Structures are given as structure tokens and as C-alpha cells.
Amino acid sequence: MHCLHKLAFVIALTQLLFTGGAHQPIATQKAVQGESVIPFTLTAHNNIVVSAKLNGTDTLKLMLHTATADVRLTEDAVRKLKSISFTNSTKVKSWGGESDSRFSKENRLQIGALQRKDITVWEDKNSGHDTDGKFGLDFFQNQIVEIDFDHGHIALHKTLPRKAETYERLKLETQHGDLMVEGSCLIEGKSYTNKFLLHSGYSGGILLDDAFAATAGVDGKIKITEESSLKDSFGNTIKVKKGIMPVFLLGSAKLSNVPTGFFSGAIGAQKLSVLGSEILKQFNLIFDIAHNDLYLAPRRT
């Protein structure tokens, strides 16, 4: 996976552009086919939230963020913690500007039965709604990660589970550590294909990079529902347009009326297109990152 600072402008997209989904009860932690299972809640804001313990003392609600490699906590959460101190800081860049970010080394973090030591924790202004911060798939190291929205749990596997045979396999492409998958927008009968960053920290459907939005002529071709401001993790603001993509294709799945965001004006602010939780939550997912494979199956519910 990647260093957060190289692509902070997309890591910050945890502010809502679109909301949806219903509260999902936390599953009781259990074993599935002998593998480790971590229950999660899918919130009304499309955040995948788990319970975690920091340094054996502080209990946290953390959002699984597939577009980050770091553990990051909000300023509000940090003020309440008893077990951590921040003695270092550095400047980081996002699409909204440059900001200082504090960090703390040599922490222990436990999620489910999995505990990792020597964790560096970074401080942010923002995270998903009603969460204390976020963590990425890197926390699970080399394990195969299954996100089962039907049952509300994350299952960790040492080998590919048999159920993957019934899932559709898509190839992942890693760009500077980011996980990308190919998708297509169908606009006025023409298909426009692009690479999309898998970003569970982004609550909306898709967010288009500036160059792709300009090439496809999105502004003026899709229904615009509103314009708003988007804040990154450091509190910087940028304007974004919201609209409805008539059809979005992900593998063999054909999704209609997909919430779509894009920036208008000067090209360059948004470098990557993003595929968010509004779409991801419609599938059960298996990440086999070591083999650059993503398996997905439409949810039963």
C-alpha cells in the first residue's frame, strides 16, 4: 500500500457528498471456517466502522479506509485519549493546501483478535461521521480480506476462500500503492472507461478526476443536482458539483443513477477518479492484494 502523504488529496474525501444506506447491527465476533472475524457497523453515512483498542487502554471507533495505509485519529478523539502522546509533527500536502500533522510512534492497536505493535498514529481534523479515525487494509498485512456486508463482518483468510469461485474477479492495479479498478461511465450512449481508486472512506458513489470529466464532457451531459464544498482531513475546502451518472459499469454489474461528483474549472485539483462506499456496499468483496485480484458478488440484501 502507499504512504498517505503522497496522495492526501484523496485520502481526505471522508466528508459526505451523498448519504444513503441503513444502520446495520454489529455482528457477534465468531469464527467463520476457522478464520478470524471482525464485526463492523455500516453506518447511515456508508462508513465501515469497527471497534478498536489503543495501547490496551483507549477504546476507539475506527473507519476502514481502503485508500490509506496509516492509522489516523481526529483531533477531537486525541484530546480524550489517555494512552498516547504526540511528540513529532511534519508538513503534509493535500488538494486544499499544506498543513501540519502531528504523529506518535510505537503504539499498539488491536482490532478484533489481531494486534499490531509499533504503529505510528497520525492526527487529522476529520474522519467519517461519528468515528474517532481511520485505518487501512495494510493493518491486516498479507492476509486476504473479505468484507461481507450481508453479515456485517470482515473475515481474514490465509488462502482464498472457496466462495471466491462464485464471485466475479476483477484485476487490481496498484498506482503508488493505491488500489485501482477499471470502470466505465455510459453517457449519451457512449462508454468512457477509466481507472478508479477504491475508496471506502468516500461516502458517495463516484468522484471523477478533472481530466476524465473534461474528456467525457460530464458537465452539461449529466443531470446536476447541486454544488457544494468539500473539506479534506486538514480542514481545507474545495468546490464540487454533484450529479447523476445514468449508468456505471463495474465488471459485469450495471448500476443505474449513480451519484457522481466532479470539480469544475481548472484541471489539476483532482488527479484520480474515486469509487466510493455508495457503490462498494452493493457488493460483498474479497481483496487478494498479493495477487492483484478483487472478487465481488452482488449482495443478497
Q: How confident is the model at residue 94 (pLDDT cuts 50, 70, 90)?
A: low
Domain boundary assignment for the chain: 4-160, 168-298
Across the range 4-22, mean pLDDT stands at 39
Question: What is residue 40's DSSP assignment?
Answer: -
**Separation between Cα atoms, residue 288 and residue 170, nearest integer Å:** 10
Bridging pattern class, strands 173-175 and 168-171: unpaired
Architecture of domain 4-160: Beta Barrel (2.40)
Q: What's the pLDDT at 195?
A: 97
Domains 4-160 and 168-298 in one fold: yes
Q: What's the pLDDT at 237?
A: 67
Q: Is the pLDDT of residue 114 over 80?
A: yes
3-state SS string for 185-241? EEECCEEEEEEEEECCCCCCCEEECHHHHHHHCCECCEEEEEEEEEECCCCCEEEEE
Q: What's the pLDDT at 268?
A: 59
- In percent, the amount of the chain with pLDDT more than 70 equals 80
Q: What's the pLDDT at 91?
A: 61
Which distant-in-sequence residues (6+ apart) come within 8 Å of 192 by Cβ?
184, 185, 186, 212, 215, 216
Q: Is the pLDDT of residue 11 over 70?
A: no
Q: CB atoms < 10 A from the CB of 254, how many?
A: 11
Q: Is the pLDDT of residue 301 over 90?
A: no
Across the range 259-263, mean pLDDT stands at 91
Quick check: helix, strand or coil at residue 163? helix
**Separation between Cα atoms, residue 286 and residue 193, nearest integer Å:** 23
Q: How confident is the model at residue 101 (pLDDT cuts 50, 70, 90)?
A: confident
Average confidence score pLDDT of the chain = 85
User: Strands of 293-298's sheet, edge to edge?
Assistant: 36-39, 153-157, 144-148, 283-288, 293-298, 168-171
**Separation between Cα atoms, residue 88 and residue 84, nearest integer Å:** 12
Q: Is the pLDDT of residue 297 over 50?
A: yes
Report how far Cα 218 is from the mean position of its chain's Cα atoms.
24
Q: What's the pLDDT at 35?
A: 72
Q: How confident is the model at residue 185 (pLDDT cuts 50, 70, 90)?
A: very high
Quick check: helix, strand or coil at residue 7? helix
Q: What's the pLDDT at 32?
A: 46
Across the range 240-257, mean pLDDT stands at 95
Long-range contacts of 112-120 (CB under 8 A, 24+ apart): 112/29, 112/36, 112/37, 112/38, 112/39, 112/50, 112/154, 113/29, 113/36, 114/36, 114/38, 114/139, 114/140, 114/156, 116/141, 119/71, 120/70, 120/71
Bridging pattern class, strands 144-148 and 88-94: unpaired
Q: Is the pLDDT of residue 79 over 70?
A: yes
Across the range 35-53, mean pLDDT stands at 95
Q: How confident is the model at residue 240 (pLDDT cuts 50, 70, 90)?
A: confident
Strand partners, 262: 208, 241
Quick check: helix, strand or coil at residue 55? coil
The hierarchical CATH code for the domain 168-298 is 2.40.70.10
Query: Which range (50-59, 176-185, 229-238) has the least confidence?
Result: 229-238
Across the range 61-86, mean pLDDT stands at 94
Q: Is the pLDDT of residue 63 over 50?
A: yes
Across the range 93-103, mean pLDDT stands at 67
How many contiguous H segments (helices) and E segments (strands) does the chain have? 4, 22
Say if residue 94 is exposed, middle or buried (CB neighbours under 10 Å; 0-12, 13-18, 19+).
Answer: buried
Q: What's the pLDDT at 220?
A: 87
Q: What's the pLDDT at 98?
A: 60
Q: Could you tell me if 122 and 72 are in contact, meaning their C-beta atoms sit under 8 angstroms apart?
A: yes
